[in-house]
Amino acid sequence: MTSLSDLPYIAYLTDDGQVVDRFDGKVGVYAIFDLAQTLQFIGYSRDVSLSLRQHLVRQPHQCHWVKVQTIDRPSRTALEEIRAAWITENGAVPVGNDRDEALWNQPIDAKAQMTPEEQAAYAAAEDAGKIKVLKQVARRVEAEVLAVLGDRGVTTPIRFDPKLKEEGLLNLK
């Protein structure tokens, strides 16, 4: 196991705005850092690149640098041991693994960002109407997320799961 401090910082985005893709389909542990290289989150995944895209969509202002250790044979125990060792090495639990964990790990809940008008339309609607309102809210929040990513210079195509929009949730497909 490589210590977190011994791993190089890798820019989250390439010069042409693509999310770093050298970890496509790779199993590993990753640490995400903000612009000032302050540790924000440590996670592990069966596809590190997919997870990095998901985190960028959920926390675009916090994802600037990443450190990754891949492993050849998937083992949840090994991945959890590396993550625990990195947290210990950091000296504190990163906010993304503590109070902000849902913001890093759960789909974006567009319902929480409803305007008063949207809340009123939702409350007044019947079942099918509620789904329509949730989809509209999800599309609005999606546009806001994509605008923030555009401002960051992200050119990686982002596609959200259309079925989840009916529930007011945004998650990559």
Mean pLDDT, the chain cut into blocks of 10 residues (173 residues total): 95 96 95 98 96 97 97 92 97 97 97 96 94 96 97 95 96 93
- Please count the CA atoms within 13 angstroms of the CA of 21 that sit on its side-chain side: 9
Using alpha carbons, select from 161, 153, 172 the residue that is nearest to residue 11: 153
Query: Phi-psi category of 69—alpha, beta or left, where left has phi over 0 and alpha has psi -120 to 50?
Result: beta
Domain spans, the chain: 4-105, 108-170
Question: What is the model's pLDDT at position 18?
Answer: 95
Tracing tokens 């490589």 back to the chain, one arrives at 2
CATH class in words for 4-105: alpha beta
Question: What is the model's pLDDT at position 1?
Answer: 80
DSSP 41-70: EEEEESSHHHHHHHHHHH-TTT-SEEEEEE
